[in-house]
Amino acid sequence: MKLQDLLSEQVIRVPLLHTKKEQIIEELIDLIHQSGKIKDRDLALAKVLEREHVMSTGMGEGVAIPHAKTEAVEELAAAFGITRQGVDFAAMDDKPVRLIFLLVGPMDPTGPHLQALSRISRLMHRSEFRDRLVECPSAAAVLEAIALEENSL
């Protein structure tokens, strides 16, 4: 599974409009909802926030991956945003977050959801790639950077 297959300019926002974790999650949910991939926006939002309250999805190194499984979608959907400044996401390393991938997957099957989480984690492990993403001025530039990185793996 490639991220470039899950993302489009429609579900990428550079920069994100909000500066608080919950508002950013809602902003990204709204992007996916506007793309037509969420049947029940409020349910999807509630599930992602519920998951976030159980344990932060701030993975460290300036990256967060809020996610949830929900009946609100029929297939895996994603959104991505870059903040202008760091946001407190209660990350494992206590560092602020600037790169946020949001995933919502159906209750079954689990495979695509886990594959996408793994793919994001793998890509975000490279500091040079994270630095390139933070500097992207547009959704098109984000897609191009992700495609280049994925194709080099």
Facing residues of 87 across strands?
A: 97
Per-residue pLDDT of the chain (153 residues; tens, 9 = 90+): 789 999 999 999 999 999 999 999 999 999 999 999 999 999 999 999 999 999 999 999 999 999 999 999 999 999 999 999 999 999 999 999 999 999 999 998 778 888 998 999 999 999 999 999 999 999 999 999 999 999 988
Domain edges within the chain: 3-152
Q: Indicate the CATH number for domain 3-152.
A: 3.40.930.10
The pLDDT assigned to 59 comes to 93
The pLDDT assigned to 70 comes to 95
The pLDDT assigned to 113 comes to 86
Q: What is the pTM of this model?
A: 0.95
The pLDDT assigned to 88 comes to 95
Shortest CA distance to 97 belongs to which of 8, 25, 12, 49?
25
Q: Which are the contacts of 2, defined by CB distance < 8 A and separation ≥ 6?
A: 119, 150
Q: Is 113 a catalytic residue?
A: no
What one-letter code names the amino acid at 119? R
Catalytic pick from 18, 33, 53, 67? 67
The pLDDT assigned to 95 comes to 95
3-state SS, the chain, equals CCHHHHCCHHHEECCCCCCCHHHHHHHHHHHHHHCCCCCCHHHHHHHHHHHHHHCCCEEECCEECCEEECCCCCCCEEEEEEEEEEECCCCCCCCCEEEEEEEEECCCCCHHHHHHHHHHHHHHCCHHHHHHHHCCCCHHHHHHHHHHHHHHC
